[in-house]
Structure 1
């Protein structure tokens, strides 16, 4: 048991650090934070509701912990993550691990934004959150080409899950679309007025993130089905 724990710590030290740092930062900020801390912002960057700092500052770090624990559980059930020969991570396993670390980094960044606001600062929450999410999606898109069919990350629809060829073709296109469109959104989020960021820009971005990959998956599945009929 101790050997397994030691091996896990050596393998996932960066993951553990990314989880621990926001939690420690929240605990350190607790004595200095306002009695009520912001929990949610609207599209204009205004706070929708507050919570007592005694638990409000801990919600995001604990949510991060539970989310990553769930992802780790799903990863352990993924047969494509490890090579049969030596038990080392495959390219797919390395990609899923990097995506997990990226998600942790994003949640940690949002936690630090909340802590900053609770200490009396006024971060531009709307722009920072949009930028952080866009950079995460660009990062994920860059790794899409390495993913194998699985049940917890990627474009997971019946067309892609039922055919490795459709999965591969869809993620090849989706990776380029996600990376390019997300980098554009990250840049434009600091150049456009807020009302345009949360209306036209976001809608166009969602179209590229969702509709384009779904169309590619449907079209590749249709072509594969037609080739079998012939």
Structure 2
């Protein structure tokens, strides 16, 4: 129980409390439904109950439980001590992302003109740059990082794959950021293409490094 409140988790708890308080404050002022999903043109194509405003704090709370649960049941739980800072900073970043989505939903609901098609590449670009910077520091484990049969079979393959993927993701994040200057129609397709590439490259890299060094 004490581990739920240790120093690395405090930032996530703060984000959880902020999103919860914000949700409680705005809930009475929300209409019966709020935006839940946007299409590639930035138009709302799905609405949800106003109770979904509490989705952000709910996910943040689950992240806190998940952060402790995963490292506890991982057969390589000792590895987490070697990258604790990066591990919890990743969880914290997800918490901030959920908080940002909550604020966007609130702003949109109250009539502010916000273009999600322009905003999303910025958020995702920052996310890939952030993950790319911390990924090389992830140690061998079964839950966090590039988990293929090849990386799990060899610590050297794990290290090489994550170091290479980190560089690729930083570069990909920069490209995603720059895509915000393109026409709206082009952003969606480029964004999808980049995401697919950034997912496939680590898989190919892990196989290559395993064949060469595994």
Q: Normalising by the residue count of structure 2, what TM-score does the alignment of the two structures yield? A: 0.90
Matched, 1:38 2:30: no
Correspondences of 1:20-169 after superposition (within 5 Å): 20-53=17-50, 55-77=51-73, 78-82=77-81, 90=82, 92-169=83-160
Work out the CA distance in 2 between the residues paired with 1:94 and 1:154.
15
Tell me how far 1:11 sits from its aligned partner.
4.3
**3-state secondary structure, aligned to 2:34:** strand
Answer yes or no: is the 8 Å Cα contact 1:106–1:133 preserved in 2.
no
**Bigger Cα Rg:** 1
Partner of 2:210: 221
Tell me the secondary structure at the aligned position of residue 150 of structure 1: coil
Residue 66 of structure 1, CA deviation: 1.9
SS in structure 2 of the partner of residue 80 of structure 1: helix
Cα distance change of structure 1 residues 148 and 10 upon mapping to structure 2, 3 Å threshold: closer
Q: Which residue of 2 aligns with 1:193?
A: 183
Tell me how far apart the structure 2 counterparts of residues 23 and 206 of structure 1 sit (CA, whole Å). 34
C-alpha deviation, 1:12, in angstroms: 2.3
Q: Which runs of 5+ in 2 are unaligned?
A: none
List 4+ stretches of structure 1 deviating above 3 A: none
Question: Could you tell me which residue of structure 1 aligns to residue 16 of structure 2?
Answer: 19
Cα RMSD for the two superposed structures: 1.9
Unaligned runs of at least 5 residues, structure 1 = 83-89, 226-230
Greater shift, 165-174 or 98-107, is seen at 98-107
Task: Work out the number of aligned pairs and report it.
Answer: 211
Higher helix share: 2
- Structure 1-normalised TM-score? 0.84
Rate the CA distance shift 1:159–1:188 in 2: closer, same or farther, 3 A.
Answer: same
Structure 1 position 205, deviation (Å)? 4.1
